[in-house]
Amino acid sequence: MQKVRSIAQLKKNLHQWRKQNLSIAFVPTMGNLHEGHIKLVLAARKKADKVVVSIFVNPTQFGVGEDFESYPRTEEDDEIKLKEACADLLFLPSVLEIYPEAMETIVSVTKLSTRHCGKSRPNHFNGVATIVVKLLNMVQPDIAFFGEKDFQQLAIIRKMVNDLNISCEIIGVETERELDGLAMSSRNNYLTESERKIAPKLYHSICKARENVLLGVKDLKVIEKEQYDYLASLGFVVDYFSICRCDNLQPAKVSDNEIVILVAAKLGKPRLIDNIYFSR
């Protein structure tokens, strides 16, 4: 596996592959890799000749008081995992390499970015959209892979790529879970031992909500409130528990068939997110 830190060296390597008509898949990450990230790399490996992985903790998607400085950085361990997963190139840029001067251009997917996580993290998705556009421009992959754990982020990236006519196929990969159902996340490391025992209840609550929707409960707001209160009773500080349409993340109606249930809640230090989507 090759490792580069500059955009110039990245493009030099990519140019050599393109001269050989090799297809390129891209997996952008913020590092501290777990099995969920590796699942993305393995999916990319099946779809393209070459796989590029980036590790970049992007400062513009962190809000005031969030964990940019303390976000876990595990470069050596990450490299080992990526070599084992047969990634071809690791792009490890510095903040100065990505943002050499003050940014005056921001990419914003206006409607999708203001709901759910966007309400409590108002500039987060602008930071996400902007860095993803920058990375896609640098790598210019044929395909890019993102986890479905952040369903809203994936929806925003798909909308952005479509709106801006970016020639890259976006593929979502199913959430990787611990044996007890907890969605894998780098921030799970912040959980205390007692919090870790409670954390899987987040997934259990959306599964229960799905069950009630499929049973035909007419008032979806009642289901949302039941699960909101259930999580709060366990010690979660719930940001939202929302039953939505899959296509635009608007509140679902009884007549809607493609449903996603989104939840975000703090448990101790970390803010945990999860979702489940289904047809009825």
CATH code of the domain covering residue 207 = 3.30.1300.10
Please indicate, yes or no, whether residues 110 and 227 belong to a single structural domain of this protein. Answer: no
Tally the domains of the chain.
2
Confirm if 121 and 63 have CB atoms less than 8 A apart: yes
Please indicate, yes or no, whether residues 11 and 37 belong to a single structural domain of this protein. Answer: yes
CATH code of the domain covering residue 37 = 3.40.50.620
Residue type for position 103: M
In a domain, 239, yes or no: yes
Please indicate, yes or no, whether residues 198 and 158 belong to a single structural domain of this protein. Answer: no
What pLDDT, in 10s, does the model give residues 23-52?
999 999 999 999 999 999 999 999 999 999
- % of the chain beyond a pLDDT of 70: 100
Please indicate, yes or no, whether residues 34 and 162 belong to a single structural domain of this protein. Answer: yes
Please indicate, yes or no, whether residues 166 and 197 belong to a single structural domain of this protein. Answer: no
pLDDT at 260 over 90: yes
Predicted confidence at residue 65, as pLDDT, reads: 84
In a domain, 53, yes or no: yes
- % of the chain beyond a pLDDT of 90: 95
What pLDDT, in 10s, does the model give residues 159-184?
999 999 999 999 999 999 999 999 99
Predicted confidence at residue 204, as pLDDT, reads: 98
Contact residues for 219 (Cβ-Cβ < 8 A; gap 6+): none
Count of beta carbons in the 10 Å neighbourhood of residue 219: 9
Catalytic residues: 37
Confirm if 10 and 28 have CB atoms less than 8 A apart: no
Predicted confidence at residue 80, as pLDDT, reads: 98
The closest alpha carbon to 89, from 4, 32, 168, belongs to: 4
pLDDT at 254 over 90: no
Mean pLDDT in residue range 60-88: 94
Please indicate, yes or no, whether residues 27 and 115 belong to a single structural domain of this protein. Answer: yes
Please indicate, yes or no, whether residues 93 and 231 belong to a single structural domain of this protein. Answer: no
Residue 67: domain span: 2-173
